[in-house]
Amino acid sequence: MMGKTQQLEPKLFYHGVSLDRRIPSDHPLRRIQQVVDFTFIRSQVADLYGSCGHTSVDPVVLLKLMFLLFYENVKSERQLMAQLPMRLDWLWFCGYDIDDQTPDHSVLSKARRRWGAEVFSTFFETILTQCVQAGLVDGEIIHVDSSMIDANASKDSLQCQVRLVSDQLYDQLEQTSEPDKPLEKHISTTDPDARLSKKKYSRTTLGYKDHRSVDDKAGIVTATVTTPANVTDDKVLTEVIEQHQHATGKEVEMVAADMAYGTGENYKMLHEQGITPCISHQQRSSRCHPDFNHDKFIYDAKQDCYLCPAGQKLPRHQEKPRENSIIYRADRQTCQSCRHLKQCVSSQQFGRQIRRNVNTEHIEWADGCLSKYERKRLMARRKYKAEGSFADAANNHGFKRCRLRGIEKATIQNQMIAAIQNLRKLLRAINLKPAAGACKRLIERLKRHTINALGLLRNSEPLETVI
For 123-142, what is each residue's pLDDT tens digit? 999 999 999 999 999 989 99
| pLDDT computed for residue 449 by the predictor | 59
Residue 364 near residue 393, CB atoms below 8 Å? no
Domain assignment of residue 196, yes or no: no
Backbone φ, ψ for residue 177 (5° rounding): -75, -20
| pLDDT computed for residue 270 by the predictor | 93
Domain assignment of residue 411, yes or no: yes
Domain assignment of residue 49, yes or no: yes
**Mean pLDDT confidence for 235-255:** 92
Q: Is residue 245 scored above 90 in pLDDT? A: yes
Asked whether residue 424 falls in the same domain as residue 335, the answer is no
Asked whether residue 269 falls in the same domain as residue 411, the answer is yes
| pLDDT computed for residue 44 by the predictor | 87
Domain assignment of residue 352, yes or no: no
Q: What Rg, from alpha-carbon coordinates, does the chain have?
A: 31
> How many domains does the structure of the chain reveal?
4
Domain assignment of residue 7, yes or no: no
What's the CA gap between 288 and 462, in Å, rounded? Answer: 83
Pick the more confident residue, 344 or 177: 344
Share of the chain above pLDDT 70, in %: 81
Of 235, 233, 236, nearest in space to 260 by CA: 233
Domain span at 428: 119-150+208-283+364-436
| pLDDT computed for residue 269 by the predictor | 92
Q: Is residue 453 scored above 80 in pLDDT? A: no
CATH number at residue 230: 3.30.420.10
Asked whether residue 431 falls in the same domain as residue 294, the answer is no
- H helix runs in 135-262, sequence order: 162-174, 237-248
Q: Is residue 439 scored above 90 in pLDDT? A: no
pLDDT tens, position by position, 264-282: 889 999 999 999 999 987 6
Pick the more confident residue, 204 or 145: 145
User: Could you give the 3-state DSSP secondary structure of residue 208?
Assistant: strand
Asked whether residue 334 falls in the same domain as residue 442, the answer is no
Asked whether residue 218 falls in the same domain as residue 83, the answer is no
Asked whether residue 394 falls in the same domain as residue 432, the answer is yes
**Mean pLDDT confidence for 95-112:** 88
Q: What is the β-pairing status of strands 254-257 and 276-279?
A: parallel
Domain assignment of residue 358, yes or no: no
Asked whether residue 279 falls in the same domain as residue 399, the answer is yes
Domain assignment of residue 6, yes or no: no
Residue 28 near residue 427, CB atoms below 8 Å? yes
Helix axes 117-133, 407-458, angle to 10 degrees: 10
Asked whether residue 127 falls in the same domain as residue 240, the answer is yes
Asked whether residue 305 falls in the same domain as residue 249, the answer is no
Q: What is the DSSP secondary structure assignment for residue 401, as one 8-state letter?
A: B
| pLDDT computed for residue 177 by the predictor | 44
Give the number of C-alpha atoms closer than 13 A to the C-alpha of residue 416, restricted to the C-beta side. Answer: 27
Q: What is the β-pairing status of strands 313-320 and 305-307?
A: antiparallel
Asked whether residue 441 falls in the same domain as residue 427, the answer is no
Of 100, 107, 117, 56, nearest in space to 78 by CA: 107
Which residues have C-beta within 8 Å of that of residue 411, sequence separation ≥ 6? 117, 120, 226
Domain assignment of residue 332, yes or no: yes
Asked whether residue 47 falls in the same domain as residue 111, the answer is yes
Pick the more confident residue, 72 or 9: 72
Asked whether residue 36 falls in the same domain as residue 104, the answer is yes
Q: Is residue 187 scored above 90 in pLDDT? A: no
**Mean pLDDT confidence for 99-116:** 88
Pick the more confident residue, 424 or 333: 424
**Mean pLDDT confidence for 445-466:** 51
Q: How confident is the model at residue 179 (pLDDT cuts 50, 70, 90)?
A: very low
| pLDDT computed for residue 462 by the predictor | 46
